[in-house]
A and B are shown apart, each in its own frame.
Chain A
Amino acid sequence: MGQKTPLYQLHQEMGAKLVDFGGWDMPLHYGSQVEEHHQVRQDVGMFDVSHMTIVDVSGPEARKFLRYLLANDVARLELQGKALYTTMLNEQGGIIDDLIVYLMTEPGSSSEWYRLVVNCATRENDLSWMADKAVPFDVTLTEQPDMAMVAIQGPNAIETVCRVLGESRTRLISGLEVFQGVESEGWFIARTGYTGEDGLEIMLPDEEVAEFWKSLSEQGAKPCGLGARDTLRLEAGMNLYGSDMTEEVTPLESGIAWSVALEPTDRDFIGRSVLEVQKDTGVPRKLVGLVLETRGVLRGHQTVIVDSGEGEITSGSFSPTLGLSIALARIPATSATEAKVVMRGKEVGVRIVRPPFVRKGKKVFA
């Protein structure tokens, strides 16, 4: 038996098929993951993401510590509540995890603190790495294990949440920019997500989440499982840690060079020297999108053949929005626009595209 989120019983009542995910019993789907996918693209769906790990970083050297720990630069956060997507690297530039960091206070405030949301499967490794690296800094790391987290995503997500919450929280939400969050009486409401749609991710005390979930359901938000979460993020061209990124690869080899801040050049961060060399000498491998325009479904670990050598699919699935199969693959550097994938013993032609595949419900690759 795995760990259970405070919504476990409600998931069972709503007909969820539960599976083990990083040691947690989580909903895979509540009937049809394809229908849940469409629900998010076209209306509003809700996900229990309470398994994710929340770590608060405070203390006089919080900023200094995070500027050393993370590949992206928290000094870029110039507004209270703003979020930054980043990786946390080892000394070899390999990705220990990817995460979101929120600036929780006014920038430059003497009591500045940050909230980090990291993956559940990497929790222990992340926490011990952070604690170890924090030793020389005057910072405090505080995990928030008693907070639940719900992601409400889709074109009608924000409107649906506002129908459930009171006037004051509605006002706070209407003031949010994309990728910004706000605190409200023990809740943290952020305009972020992992689907390529507009929406919110809301962190709240465990004991309040069941009632919130039921109210959302009454207002038309349909529960969605990890299955739909995976096809939605893949269409949105977002990497999954453990599949598309591991400690064996750098962000430059993972399609997320934009999340690495090499400027300013005097900011030392873990992994920096390796990334600088890689940038100067050329990145040997890159993460690309693949589209299969014939029948079949691309799957993780299938071999990809390009003019410059062989690579591998890191995530592959059927795209419900596009009605064909898409994948992320790591291949040797090439300017080719076509590749072959070995599927069930046969070589099948695919197109190489630049992700994302879908944004706000629409096809976006050329």
Chain B
Amino acid sequence: MMSNVPSELKYVSSHEWIRDEGDGIVCVGITDHAQDLLGDVVFVELPDVDAEVSAGDDAGVVESVKAASDIYAPLSGTVVEVNEGLEDAPESVNSDPYGDGWFFKLKLSDLSELDDLLDADEYSAQCEDE
């Protein structure tokens, strides 16, 4: 089954997507491919607002019926907002991974890290190799 990989987003190999919202702020979630691998999501543990994270740090946990899976901060910065809607509706990670299923927003500390991200084609190629 082909998963949805929107071309306007950026990606990291650990299956998070990144949307540049301007002013050094990005929104982060997990990809359609990742949610499909996880199955029904039942809990999401998000980082605290104001937490400082470095690229690659643990930044939460997604629990599905099948397994627990770490969420990684794809970039370095400060958490400025988390998706509180996931508390009551974790299933939106499955139904709308690029919309209502977003996880958190980061104020970036190093904008040059944006250059290291994968684009949609590169991420799709990685998923096909898995």
Contact = CB atoms under 8 A, between A and B. Distances in A.
Indicate whether A and B interact. Answer: yes
A33 interface: yes
Interface string B45-87: 1000000000000000101011110000000000000000000
A32 B43 contact: no
Given A296-B68, A297-B42, A297-B43, 7 more contacts: A33-B40, A231-B65, A296-B63, A297-B65, A297-B68, A318-B65, A344-B61
A348 interface: no
By size class, the interface of chain A is 10 to 19
Contacts of B45: 295
B68 A34 contact: no
B42 A34 contact: yes
B16 interface: no
A242 interface: no
B32 interface: no
Contacts of B91: 32, 34
Instruction: Name which of B42, B45, B67 has the most chain A CB atoms within 10 A of its CB.
Output: B42
Contacts of A296: 43, 63, 68
Given A297-B68, A317-B65, A33 B39 contact: yes
A227 interface: yes
Given A32-B94, A318-B63, A227 B68 contact: no
Interface string A305-327: 00000000000011000000000
Contacts of B67: 299
A118 to B, nearest CB: 27
Interface of A: 28-29, 32-34, 227, 231, 295-297, 299, 317-318, 344
B65 A344 contact: no
B39 to A, nearest CB: 6
Interface of B: 39-40, 42-43, 45, 61, 63, 65-68, 91, 94
A22 B45 CA distance: 34
Contacts of A227: 39, 65-66
30 contacts: A28-B39, A29-B39, A32-B40, A32-B91, A32-B94, A33-B39, A33-B40, A33-B65, A34-B40, A34-B42, A34-B65, A34-B91, A227-B39, A227-B66, A231-B65, A295-B43, A295-B45, A296-B43, A296-B68, A297-B42, A297-B43, A297-B63, A299-B67, A299-B68, A317-B65, A318-B42, A318-B63, A318-B65, A344-B61, A344-B68
Contacts of B43: 295-297, 318
A297 B67 CA distance: 8
Contacts, number: 35
Contacts of B94: 32
Nearest to A344: B68
A344 B61 CA distance: 10
A299 B39 CA distance: 15
Q: Which 4 A-B pairs have the closest CB atoms?
A: A34-B40, A318-B42, A297-B63, A295-B43
A33 B94 CA distance: 12
A297 B38 CA distance: 14
Nearest to B61: A344
A33 B42 CA distance: 11
Contacts of B40: 32-34
Nearest to A29: B39
A317 B66 CA distance: 8
Contacts of A231: 65
A29 B37 CA distance: 12
Nearest to A228: B65
Contacts of A299: 67-68
Contacts of B39: 28-29, 33, 227
Nearest to A297: B63
Contacts of B66: 227
Contacts of A32: 40, 91, 94
A299 B43 CA distance: 14
A57 B4 CA distance: 53
Contacts of A295: 43, 45
B32 to A, nearest CB: 14
A343 to B, nearest CB: 8
Instruction: Name which of B43, B45, B94 has the most chain A CB atoms within 10 A of its CB.
Output: B43
A52 B42 CA distance: 30
A299 B42 CA distance: 13
